[in-house]
Amino acid sequence: MKFIVDTHIFLWSLSDPGRIDKPRRVEIMRRSNKVLVSSISIAEIMIKASLGKLKVDFDPLDMIEKSGFESLDFSVSDAILLKDLPFHHKDPFDRMLISQSISAGIPLMTDDPEFRRYGCELI
């Protein structure tokens, strides 16, 4: 199975894996799964770091690779879906991750209950 991890899941997997519930941790650690980190999550992390809201003392791309994850670019096709995506969720980064998940047909792992209101498959 392959899935996209929400930004907080990626950060927790690096700094505090215990915050991720056990069933999700098992899926992240399962070698047969492909864990994807979206370029949107990296943009969110870098913007929050530039605003002083998050300390980033690591290279995100390096950490993706060291974690055994893979990066996933946000495409034009992913972006087009944003036009018709309902505004259940106001966070633009989350909306882009949801749009990417729907566009690519790839499940999304998140702890955010608002994601349930969209038509993407959740883990």
CATH of the domain at 20: 3.40.50.1010
In a domain, 55, yes or no: yes
In a domain, 58, yes or no: yes
Question: What's the domain range around 53?
Answer: 2-117
The mean pLDDT value for 37-43 works out to 98
Give the predicted TM-score (pTM) of the model.
0.95
Calpha distance 117→89 (Å, rounded)? 9
Nearest 5°: the CA angle 112, 69, 19 is: 40
Number of domains in the chain: 1
Instruction: State the residue for tokens 């209950």.
Output: 113
For residue 48, pLDDT beyond 90: yes
The mean pLDDT value for 23-27 works out to 97
- pLDDT of 65: 96
